[in-house]
Amino acid sequence: MNKKKSILFFLLFFFSIQNSNLEASSKLEIVKNFNNIETLKFNFSQITFEKKEEGTCFLKRPHFLKCIYEKSKNQKELIVNGNNIVIYHKKYEKTYYYPTSRSFFLEILDKKKFKETVLKSVIVDNEDLFEIKYVGKKRGEITFFFGKNNFNIVGWKIIDLNGNKTNFKIENLIKNQEIKKEIFTIPEIN
């Protein structure tokens, strides 16, 4: 009986180590792939409060992101420029400022923070995606989605501290194309 228990224990231990190595290897591949990116351009669809919005985003590391929402009645733009997140409503020339530190944008834009976040996170291996789930103090939780074959980011889901969900899906990803820094300038309102 002890021999059977020993064999069972050994098999469980062996598969546990193998699974742990696979998780670590996948995390390192995701970090390597994503941290080789300096710029991204992509189309997105975002669902928040059951409202779907679509548009185009431009990302330039380490501190810049701009998303232009198509068909937005307010002509909305989201701009991350260093320590500021700005929601700009072009139609009404209204600008709303938020600190980047209250969001998960630093984990996406800063290579070092991204690596730390991924390595601390739980990874789930689904059919065609890797899900990397991270819980941030005082910010809620984010789950990144990466393609299993190419390790490209395909979106994320955020659940804030109030339980509100935002699903963000990425398509038509273009890597390391020149993007001028001026695109991330926060509009001045007269």
Q: Encoding tokens for residue 146?
A: 């990466």
pLDDT confidence tier of residue 3, bands split at 50, 70 and 90? low
Chain segment 175-185, per-residue pLDDT in tens:
999 999 899 99
2-184: what fold?
outer membrane lipoprotein receptor (LolB), chain A (2.50.20)
Confidence (pLDDT) at 173 = 94
Query: SS3 of 120, please?
Result: helix
The pLDDT of 148-163, averaged and rounded, is: 93
When the pLDDT of each residue in the chain is averaged and rounded to a whole number, the result is: 86
- Compute CA distances 87 → 6, 51, 56, 74, 95, whole Å: 60, 17, 15, 11, 6
In contact, 161 and 139? CB cutoff 8 Å = yes
Residue 10 above 50 pLDDT?
A: no
- pLDDT, residue 24, reads 79
Q: What is the pLDDT of residue 11?
A: 35
What's the pLDDT tens digit per position in 89-115? 988 889 999 998 888 888 889 999 999
Write down the pLDDT at residue 167: 97
Backbone angles phi, psi at 49, to 5 degrees: 50, 40
pLDDT 10s digits, 27-80: 999 999 999 999 999 999 999 998 999 999 999 998 999 999 998 888 999 999
- What pLDDT score does 143 carry? 95
Query: Of the candidates 32, 24, 22, which has an alpha carbon nearest to the alpha carbon of residue 151?
Result: 32
